Structure 1
Amino acid sequence: MRPGGDGDAASSSASKRRRRPEPSPTQRALSLLTRREHSRLELARKLIVRGVDANEADALIDKLADAGWQNDSRFAESLVRSRASTGYGPRYIEAELATHGLSSDAIAAAMDSFEDDWNEVAADLLRRRHPQALTDDRNAHRKAADFLLRRGFSMEQVRFAINAG
């Protein structure tokens, strides 16, 4: 027991502490969108997991899209730039965009917005990750080609990257 007080004072002050109010669905959505871009489908999934009703989530996302907070085109362009900068090719990126519920037109527009050359992206990745493929070692060429194909580059881009070295 504390000197000069009774034992219930500590427990009653703990119960008087204010709890943070439960965030509204709009606050939850904005919190997610301020961290990074989200596709409409991804944002809806996250809101539903956080206890927002599916119909309410759709209506909220419509409002946020109208206000410019959520935009699938902006999300797609951001994802293309991000994945390309980390060494992924166009096929991989297109497949990932499709998992976000984007239309084929939206995917094509995002891919067209990419300003770099996919051949150069593949060649740069090869120089960084498989420099041994830049020699005449056929086994190293095969390993590098397999790596680039797994990363979503076309055979034409793989050939360019190996021959560029």
Structure 2
Amino acid sequence: MPIVLDSPVAVRRVAMDLLARREHGRVELTRKLRNRGAADELIEAALDRLAEEGLLSEARYLEAFVSYRARSGYGPLRIREELTQRGLARGDVEQALRDSGIDWREHLQATWQRKFAGELPRDIRERAQQGRFLSYRGYPADLIGRLLSGAQCDD
């Protein structure tokens, strides 16, 4: 039997259940509650209260998302795009990427090493293939170019 979200208590309970599983952004949580049938005014009130209590935090959500996606082998361009598509402010996303302390060169090297066993491309076709893969993963073209040309990423 589905839960009826017609009271502030019910909306809060479902929101807290979702937050207990993982961090959510406000836009994402609003969408999920709306899909479950909650009224917009109940959602806004519940989320405002959760934010005041520190249970809903965009900063924590951004930190967790950036960390998770980086560990999964994705670069800053892809992560930025995904967060922007999720309705987060561009400035907040940029700040989260800066504050993450992630060495994107190191992550690029590790992703390339896992996918291509550290073998530099032998011809233009292989270079294009490796470049497309790393670009799709969200790494900047300048870092990819240096890596695939055999230049050390430590400069």
Q: Percent identity?
A: 31
74, 78, 82: which one pairs with 1:96?
A: 82
Report the Cα offset of residue 132 of structure 1.
6.1
Structure 1: runs of 5+ lacking an equivalent: 1-18
CA distance in 2 between counterparts of 1:49 and 1:72 reads 21
| Change in CA separation of 1:110 and 1:123 when aligned onto 2, cut-off 3 Å | same
CA distance in 2 between counterparts of 1:43 and 1:76 reads 14
Deviates more, 1:19-28 or 1:138-147: 19-28
Which residue is equivalent to 1:83? 69
Matches for 1:9-158 after TM superposition, within 5 Å? 24-131=10-117, 133-134=119-120, 136-158=122-144
The ranges of structure 1 where at least 4 consecutive aligned residues each deviate by more than 4 angstroms after the TM superposition are 19-23
Q: Indicate the RMSD between aligned Cα atoms, in angstroms.
A: 2.1
Q: Is the 8 A contact 1:38 1:70 kept in 2?
A: yes
| Change in CA separation of 1:70 and 1:101 when aligned onto 2, cut-off 3 Å | same
2:16 partner SS: helix
CA distance in 2 between counterparts of 1:161 and 1:76 reads 28
CA distance in 1 between counterparts of 2:109 and 2:140 reads 12
Query: So what's the TM-score if we normalise by structure 1?
Result: 0.81
Report the Cα offset of residue 131 of structure 1.
2.0
Count of matched residue pairs: 147
CA distance in 1 between counterparts of 2:33 and 2:87 reads 16
Structure 2: runs of 5+ lacking an equivalent: none
